Structure 1
Amino acid sequence: MPAPKNTFKAAIREDRFQLGLWVALASPYAAEIVAGSGYDWLLIDGEHGPNDIPLLSSQIQAVARSASHPIVRLPVGETWMIKQILDTGAQTLLIPMVESVEQAQALVRAVRYPPHGVRGVGAALGRASQFSRIGDYLETANEEICLIVQIESRAGLAALEEIAALDGIDGLFIGPSDLAADMGHLGQPGHPAVTAAIKDAFGRIRKAGKARGIMTLSLDQARLYRELGADFMAIGTDVTLLVSATAKLREDFLAGGESKAKPVAGY
């Protein structure tokens, strides 16, 4: 029996647009709730969410029960951290702040077993191999790992062609907020100069034959990014949705507005 099929990797290889959402509440229960919403993929955030490896692992497990594909963003691209999260069952990783081809090459090696990489051969102890019940996991795992690198600085844009040309890089994800800050437009991810840089980057990524990813909290920006060619995109976060929904509920009640929501069973 081979390693489980990576449905997200298959979809972006087939040019099927994948819509996602950020999961940053660091709660398996919350991740499970969001996983029932119908998104193609969910990003479990270990960079800005208060997560560690066991908590990330629990959220992978919660999302895996749904049709949404769990993607994990680690805080940094450390080999030991990549080794641990892959053994817990993650198949798709997003690594932030990639700025050089050397850094990208190290990441490719970190997600692959020898002789093509340096991933430790210990999956028999983890969920990835169903605790050694997948007999040929070692021989088939490399093909199902999806590695996405996050380009979010001028240095990353300068190295984009070299990074995108690497075998083992499946997608390049542009981070508008950090890119805007690095370009001198802190807090303005929709600035025209930033949008122009993203458009140019998307064109170069497409030319290299790799998938183009991005995230935004603005639906207007999301529609623009889709027009520019985004192949996979997140359009919100569980944190911001919780903030906006709870604030709106209170404001609607105090304003005396009639609720359009259907009553929830038991309440």
Structure 2
Amino acid sequence: MSAAAGRPDPAEFAARLRAREPLVGYWIALDNPVGTERIAALGYDYVGVDGQHGVLHQPGWQAAMLAVDARGRSAGVIRVPSPDPVAIGAALDTGALGVVVPMVESAEQARTSVRACRHHPAGTRSLGGPVRGELRLGSVPAEIDARVACIVMIETAAALADLEAICAVEGLDAVYVGPADLSAALGARYFGDPAAAGELEEALARITDAARRHGVACGIHVMDGASAAKRLAEGFTFATVSSDITHLQQAAAAHLDAARALGAAAA
């Protein structure tokens, strides 16, 4: 625990994830370190930075991790673009305490991702030397590995078909549902399509059950805090709330609507 008001130390993120503690995170899609620092001050257990679909690409990952760490309240996590060991190593060298690996479709890809997060003899990660990862976590490989979480996404039909084997991969810390892509894989025409709602809920129940039986954490991306609470109650162990770019647009639209409504009433 952190000395500050008894809050959990962000460096304990991987251990808390592995223990299947309920965790709530937030998603960053914008290349805006000042905004990211504001979000990281709020008390989310982790802040995920989107290096796959966001406008924040690899040159901005380190600035984002610096912004998250500045307040000492949240763990910084990076979603890399693909199950590429080079990208995973680059993300961890920034000082990230975990990676989210998208589009994992087999146990073999999950195993490759895990090994990219671990040093010899458990994996293939290269010692970074005098980079930010060493500054944060030291230079003892086993100690670094203990502080870093490997999270793979379940978001395709192939991943669902190989779910049991993926969850059984040694050293895997968590699986994470991408509900939009998973919905499409189940036949939805768009995210939220009611025609695929039943199939999606069945798949989510399968995923949470498999993760529980194999002792790995299980997360999901949601659109609001109420949905995060619902999913945690259903068996997910962590949930990531919406994103900075979504909330920026929602807040601006709400203020515009309020201003126009008040203006019309005064006319």
Measured against the shorter chain, the TM-score band is 0.7 to 0.9
Distance in 1 (CA, whole Å) between partners of 2:187 and 2:170 is 33
Structure 2 equivalent of residue 264 of structure 1: none
Query: What TM-score, normalized by structure 1, do the two folds share?
Result: 0.88
Aligned counterpart for 2:85 among listed residues 79, 83, 90: 79
CA shift, 1:55, in A, is 0.2
TM-score by length of 2: 0.88
Matching residue of 1:7: 12
Asked if structure 2 preserves the Cα contact closer than 8 Å seen for 1:177 and 1:186, the reply is no
| Other-structure match for 2:163 | 160
Task: Give me the whole-angstrom Cα distance separating, in 2, the residues matched to 1:35 and 1:220.
Answer: 20
What SS does structure 1 have at the residue aligned with 2:172?
A: coil
1:95 aligns with 2:101: yes
- 2:242 partner SS: strand
Shift of 1:232: 0.5
Which runs of structure 1 show a deviation greater than 6 angstroms over 4 or more consecutive aligned residues? none
- Amino-acid identity (%): 32
By percentage of residues, which structure has more helix? Answer: 2
**What are the equivalent positions in structure 2 for 1:94-113 lying under 5 Å apart?**
94-113=100-119
Q: Secondary structure at the match of 1:97?
A: coil
Please state whether the residue corresponding to 1:120 is helix, strand or coil. coil
CA contact (8 A) 2:219 2:237 kept: yes
Higher mean C-alpha displacement, 13-22 vs 70-79: 13-22
Q: Give the secondary-structure state (helix, strand or coil) at the position aligned to 1:39.
A: coil
1:206 aligned residue = 212
For 2:147 and 2:209, the matched residues in 1 are separated by 26
Q: Distance in 2 between matches of 1:43 and 1:186?
A: 27
CA distance in 1: counterparts of 2:261 and 2:143, whole angstroms: 58
The alignment partner of 1:130 has SS state of: helix
1:179 and 2:185 aligned: no
2:151 corresponds to 1:148: yes
Indicate conservation of the 8 Å contact 1:72/1:94, yes or no: yes
**C-alpha distance in structure 2 between counterparts of 1:188 and 1:119, whole Å:** 36
Q: CA RMSD in A?
A: 2.0
How big is the shift at 1:44? 0.4
Question: Which residue of 1 is the match for residue 203 of structure 2?
Answer: 197
The runs of 5 or more residues in structure 1 that have no matched partner are 258-267
